Amino acid sequence: MLKGKVAIVTGSTSGIGLGIARELAKAGADLVLNGFGEASEIEAIRSAIEREHGVRVVYDGADMSKGDAVRGLIAATIAKFGRLDILVNNAGIQFTAPVDEFPAAKWDAILAINLSAAFHGIAAAVPQMKKQRWGRIVNIASAHGLVASTHKAAYVAAKHGMVGLTKVVGLETAGTGVTCNAVCPGWVRTPLVEKQISDIAAQRGISQKQAAEELLSEKQPSLDFASPEQLGGTVAFLCSVAAEQITGTAISVDGGWTAR
Ligand code: NAD
């Protein structure tokens, strides 16, 4: 389905991004992996995807907190592959504290990585996609792009911003062969959420299993985590012919979180 297409997935050395990268490779896309981690682990991930799916996979360690580096990632990909078809803005971080105690540096970092990186990436990618008359931009927002929770001022602000940015880019690219959509996951058991489970377990003196159940029962009516593979499948769908007329919207994969 995506043979000959080139995809960038930011923050794809772990969690949801890695799940998305694997699903796009399974569908035949060549890939640019991005994110932090041990060089040897990243190389193992890169070569395994290449081997398993017979696609070309390169790694670029661009820091998504820096606008110039984000734009450099797009330019380097176009220089290397001669095209860019799919941009998945996925890299993200979390920090929790009441708004009056929220460290300004954490606010700046979350806004930079979870929101501004998508702006810089999209701004740099859209001209190439328009030239090709085909492009798919997928912004990984969150249930927190649609509703709020306490202690997540920066994250909720950034994710709501991501949904707004998605609408604007969907309108600006309508009719050009380029689409832009947001995907809004509920809880997915990745390192980002594992830390929140550990924090609950420590605060309440309960086990990891109990803390995970508590996290789910508070927000996610299905009482089950969504998986990185399912998120990858959603992104692959948005890149399919069936999704050609889907643009400027937000698709929830949240077990019912935002239905109530
Ligand atoms: P994760 O911590 O497993 O992965 C985050 C990825 O981003 C890693 O590859 C990391 O190296 C990369 N990254 C972090 N800072 C970076 C930077 N400055 N430059 C480049 N890469 C950087 O987290 P995850 O849960 O897979 O989260 C992925 C995305 O999904 C995030 O945007 C997150 O907000 C969103 N999300 C996650 C959940 C969830 O329940 N896990 C729910 C909704 C939305």
Mean pLDDT score, 30-56: 98
* Cα–Cα distances in angstroms (integers) from residue 102 to residues 52, 143, 150, 153, in the given order: 44, 21, 12, 8
Q: Label residue 136 by pLDDT band (50, 70, 90).
A: very high
**Are 79 and 194 contained in the same domain?**
no
> Would you say residue 260 lies in a domain?
no
**Are 67 and 116 contained in the same domain?**
yes
Per-residue exposure over 67-89, b if at least 16 CB sit within 10 Å of its own CB, e if not: bebbbbbbeebbeebebbbbbbb
**Are 193 and 127 contained in the same domain?**
no
Q: Label residue 72 by pLDDT band (50, 70, 90).
A: very high
**Are 29 and 81 contained in the same domain?**
yes
CATH number at residue 84: 3.40.50.720
> Would you say residue 69 lies in a domain?
yes
C-alpha angle 112-158-236 in degrees, rounded to nearest 5? 95
**Are 54 and 146 contained in the same domain?**
yes
pLDDT given for residue 25 in this prediction: 98
Pocket residues for ligand 1 (CB within 6 Å)? 11-17, 34-37, 63-65, 90-93, 113-114, 140, 142, 185, 187-188, 190-193
Domain that holds residue 231: 6-186+226-254
As for how many domains the chain has, the answer is 2
**Are 65 and 101 contained in the same domain?**
yes
**Are 69 and 51 contained in the same domain?**
yes
**Are 236 and 216 contained in the same domain?**
no
> Over pLDDT 90: what percentage of the chain?
99
Mean pLDDT score, 163-178: 99
Which of 8, 10, 14, when mutated, tests ligand 1's pocket best, judged by the most ligand atoms within 8 Å of its CB?
14
Mean pLDDT score, 204-220: 96
What is the residue-averaged pLDDT of the chain? 98
Residue 213 structure tokens? 């159940």
Report the alpha-carbon distance of residue 211 to residue 207 in Å, rounded. 6
What residues are annotated to the active site? 155
**Are 170 and 68 contained in the same domain?**
yes
Q: Label residue 230 by pLDDT band (50, 70, 90).
A: very high
Q: Label residue 248 by pLDDT band (50, 70, 90).
A: very high
